[in-house]
């Protein structure tokens, strides 16, 4: 009982959180709503989700990336469910790939700032892993009221076409299907792909639409004549294949994908997969409902890894950091995880769980180096409140030791995967391979929280700053209202939904899905052989 206080209560809490995630997802998956879905069908078009489902191999594994992108953002414009674009990693003709599909039920598929960020994330995954990417285009282009946040900067709209060019140069397969509108700068995306398809009557592609053409040069021309399927396959030769309807178009993509030859692999070790000895439901029972309470992270790991078997590295040193070897779906992995139990250091001092001490940072650094030397992918399980503070830690060189860990992790040449199971605060987020450190995939459980510090600490700090700026005397009641308001706002900004909406994490997942995410991530990474040797940059020793 001491490990997780009340397992059944923990499980009930996790199931309630998952129920909330599913309820929100069900609404998000309606995109722009049932009326807009019906309009799409009335035009003879499949919706973005229907297209993706049709394209992917039946009964094959898949993971959706960025479902919560844009969640509770852009409310003044009616919202932007899933960022107006569907991104899935899955199998097409048994080839692992990324599929990107504009959702025309959401503002005609127009691009909001988060749409751009999500598309770039999809391309980043394809580029890092050298796996094919398929674009199902149906978009009205940039959402003009927010064009200044989408168009000109480095990580804005133009970066898409730069990535198109770089992927082409690297031999990463890109296939585009124009299944609706494709206008202005967006027209470059399918044409910079290796092959492009266009659907008759519903697909059109041009740099400027009929209204803009008339306004610019006075020419009156209809959409089909300007850039419909016949024009772009028979006259201009811009597109490669003219398709009569959505299903035929998607079937042709399957055929094109089936012909891709295999390339050299990274060679990550894999054996026959074994299920954990612990029941999957055990995952729900381990994390305490009250997140400040301790638990044994080894129990959690044993519920995730093959045969519940782990080989722990330095088990009696740096005890608030677990490091060890295991297998997930047969893949060899090195796991770095925060231990939430109260522990004794090698010197007999008590160490608080979830905090990174100097010995923990040293241990993790050495383990990360070992995994790189042995070409073993790394998995980071976050439940960290940060590095230890105070005069004793500062005198002991905690900054130096923390920098060693960040350095070792940041220079890793093996693929890294992050799972935020609980807290991910401050520099602990960085050291445990937060989004800034290029994890191939980063996901959060429904219990995830990401912030510069814990809610109570941050709220009190912000409260003191605000209180100091108030010149007149205020009552205790007014002070409490001020503190409550600050606390509420800060807590909202640390939730898993807030993080997922801004793509700080790729998805909020059911803990049961963790094995699949890591396995598919390593399979994708295995398509890109490691280049160069592992070198840790200069750091004071």
pLDDT digits (tens, 9 = 90+) for 480-529: 787 777 778 878 888 999 999 999 999 999 999 999 999 999 999 999 99
Extract the tokens encoding 194: 């290796």
Compute how many other C-beta atoms are within 10 angstroms of the C-beta atom of residue 494.
20
pLDDT of residue 455: 62
Q: Is the pLDDT of residue 2 over 50?
A: no
Which ranges of 260-307 would DSSP assign to H, the alpha helix?
A: 282-286, 297-302
| Rg of the chain over all Cα atoms, to the nearest angstrom | 25
DSSP letter at 236 equals: S
pLDDT of residue 60: 97
Q: Is the pLDDT of residue 274 over 90?
A: yes
Is 319:351 a contact under the CB 8 Å cutoff? yes
Which ranges of 99-218 would DSSP assign to H, the alpha helix?
A: 113-129, 158-169, 188-191, 210-217
Position with higher pLDDT, 142 vs 122:
122
Strand partners, 100: 87, 135
**CA terminus-to-terminus distance, the chain:** 42
* pLDDT tens track for 239-258: 999 999 999 999 999 999 99
β-pairing verdict for 416-425 and 449-451: parallel
What are the strands, taking DSSP E only, across 114-165? 133-139
The candidate with the shortest Cα–Cα distance to 363, out of 321, 331, 334, is 321
Is pTM beyond 0.85? Reply is yes
* pLDDT tens track for 24-79: 999 999 999 999 999 999 999 999 999 999 999 999 999 999 999 999 999 999 99
* pLDDT tens track for 405-457: 999 999 999 999 999 999 999 999 999 999 999 999 999 999 999 988 766 66
CA distances from 341 to 90, 183, 308, 352 (A): 38, 56, 20, 7
As a whole number, the mean pLDDT across the chain is 92
Compute how many other C-beta atoms are within 10 angstroms of the C-beta atom of residue 530.
15
Q: Is the pLDDT of residue 276 over 90?
A: yes
Whole-angstrom distance, CA of residue 445 vs CA of residue 335: 17
């Amino acid at each position: 009982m001491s490990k997780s206080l009340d397992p059944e209560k923990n499980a009930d809490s996790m199931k309630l959180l998952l129920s909330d995630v599913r309820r929100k997802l069900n609404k998000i998956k309606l995109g722009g709503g049932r009326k807009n879905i019906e309009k799409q069908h009335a035009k003879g078009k499949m919706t973005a989700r229907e297209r993706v489902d049709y394209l992917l191999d039946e009964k094959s594994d898949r993971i959706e990336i960025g479902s919560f992108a844009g969640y509770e953002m852009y409310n003044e414009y009616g919202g932007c469910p899933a960022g107006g674009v569907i991104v899935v990693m899955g199998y097409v003709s048994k080839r692992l790939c990324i599929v990107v599909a504009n959702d025309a039920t959401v503002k005609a598929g127009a691009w909001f700032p988060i749409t751009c960020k999500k598309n770039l994330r999809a391309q980043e995954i394809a580029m890092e892993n050298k796996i094919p990417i398929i674009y199902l285009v149906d978009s009205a282009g940039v959402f003009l009221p927010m064009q200044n946040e989408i168009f000109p900067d480095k990580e804005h709209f133009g970066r898409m076409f730069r990535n198109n060019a770089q992927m082409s140069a690297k031999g990463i397969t890109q296939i585009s299907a124009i299944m609706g509108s494709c206008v202005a700068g967006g027209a470059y995306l399918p044409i910079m792909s290796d092959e492009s398809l266009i659907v008759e009557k519903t697909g059109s592609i041009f740099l400027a639409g009929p209204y803009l053409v008339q306004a610019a040069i006075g020419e009156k021309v209809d959409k089909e004549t300007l850039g419909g399927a016949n024009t772009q396959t028979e006259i201009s030769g811009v597109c490669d294949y003219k398709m009569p309807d959505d299903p035929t178009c998607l079937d042709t993509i399957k055929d094109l994908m089936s012909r891709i030859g295999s390339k050299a692999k990274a060679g990550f070790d894999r054996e026959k997969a074994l299920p954990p000895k612990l029941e999957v439901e055990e995952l729900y029972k381990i994390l305490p409902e009250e997140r400040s309470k301790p638990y044994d992270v080894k129990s959690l790991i044993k519920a995730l890894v093959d045969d519940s078997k782990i080989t722990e590295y330095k088990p009696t040193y740096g005890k608030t950091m677990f490091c060890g070897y295991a297998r997930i779906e047969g893949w060899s992995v090195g796991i770095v995880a925060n231990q939430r139990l109260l522990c004794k250091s090698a010197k007999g001092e008590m160490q608080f769980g979830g905090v990174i001490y100097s010995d923990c940072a040293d241990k993790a650094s050495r383990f990360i180096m070992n995994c790189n030397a042995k070409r073993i992918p790394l998995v980071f399980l976050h439940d960290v409140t940060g590095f230890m503070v105070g005069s004793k830690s500062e005198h002991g060189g905690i900054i130096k030791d923390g920098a060693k860990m960040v350095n070792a992790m940041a220079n890793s040449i093996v693929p890294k995967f992050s799972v935020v199971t609980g807290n991910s605060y401050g520099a602990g987020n960085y050291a445990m391979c937060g989004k800034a450190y290029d994890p191939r995939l980063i996901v959060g459980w429904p219990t995830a929280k990401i912030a510069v510090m814990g809610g109570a600490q941050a709220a009190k700090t912000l409260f003191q700053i605000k209180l100091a700026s108030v010149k007149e005397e205020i009552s205790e009641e007014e002070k409490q209202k001020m503190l409550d308001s600050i606390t509420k706002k800060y807590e909202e900004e640390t939730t898993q939904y807030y993080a997922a909406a801004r793509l700080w994490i790729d998805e909020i997942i059911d803990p049961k899905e963790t094995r699949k995410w890591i396995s598919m991530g390593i399979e994708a990474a295995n398509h890109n052989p490691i280049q160069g040797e592992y070198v840790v940059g200069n750091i004071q020793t």
